Homo-oligomer: A and B are copies of this chain.
Amino acid sequence: MEGMAQQTRNGHSASAAEVAALAGVSRQTVSRVVNGMPNVTEKTRKRVLAAMEELGFRPNFAGAALRGGSYRSIGLCMYNITRVGNLATLEGIMQAAREHDFAVTMIEMGGDKPYTLADASRRMVERPVDGMILNMNRMAPDFEEFVPQPGVRTVILSMYAHPRCTTIDSDQYGSCELLTDYLLEHGHSNMRFVAGPENSISSRFREAGWRDTLGRAHVDAAPMLRGDWSADSGYAMGERIAAEVLAGGSQAPTAVLAANDQMALGVIAALENAGLSVPDDVSVVGIDDALEGLVPHNRLTTLRFDLRGVGKLAFEAAIGESSSIEAIHVPSTLVERSTVRDIRG
């Protein structure tokens, strides 16, 4: 097990020329061995491989890329990695990248400056990437007029369709259609909606899905309650809802649709603290299915997004040859646990 990697003059690994010299062949033959071309004698191949091992040869990235090949890397620009959804999407992207032997080059856009797509793509295209994915969980001020960098496929993670880029997102709107219908079907025509913060795009689409579905069912929507995604904000809204329930009357809600799981958890805690039972007195559903492993005895009925699927599709769109522009909304799945009660009849 000798043949330890050698260090050469400039701190980078040996070049194909040095390997060729050591193996007593031409540089091109080394190139052939490296790229697995067929027309090389077994004996020569062995000699070259031995020389590569001895010098610790790794093909120089820049040389190969310069010659016209791909960088085997896609760029990913994120605004806020910490958001749970972003993480799962990242995971989907990474997984797809691994399957294609791609790396993911990430840059984070600063917290203070406003995040424009033009800024992001400009910074990204300076890097060695074959395509890029731009995350947009807040509305970018230049969304409409944005022109992607030429020659680099650009995918935007967004619910909004874009005239020049493929866009992908979980179907935020459809998710709330589905959940609202689900509650209506279980006899809950009087429900409350706990929304996320106003500046979040997801939040807007979730609210619209809820409101439109009620409209289509000719059910009046009670005033929306505004949270900020946190469990504590959910708790605060839950206290108001508990008061309404305890006050009784024909307007008393029988169900709550919270725009994420943390707020749903807060709502449940507030209801139970007020002496109400979930789901006997009030049904509660969340969105995200983000509590697995975090909370004991997770029993929240919720909606699971296929975030890994989103990541995978985004990756494939970013490296794909097809130049068609699409707006993809990935559907989600209802996860029935035990916080909704059927009150029909």
Contacts and interface: CB of A to CB of B under 8 A. Distances in A.
Nearest to A81: B91
Interface stretch (A63-71, A171-179, A274-282): A63-71
Contacts of A66: 60, 62-63, 66
Interface residues of A, number: 66
A269 B68 CA distance: 60
B108 A106 contact: no
Interface in A54-104: 56, 58-63, 65-66, 68, 71, 73, 75, 81-82, 87-88, 90-91, 94-95, 97-98, 103-104
Nearest to A65: B62
Contacts of A223: none
A150 B56 contact: yes
Interface in A1-28: 4-8, 10-13
A234 interface: yes
Contact of A293 (B106, B232, B269, B270): B232
Nearest to A232: B296
B106 A94 contact: yes
Contacts of A270: 296
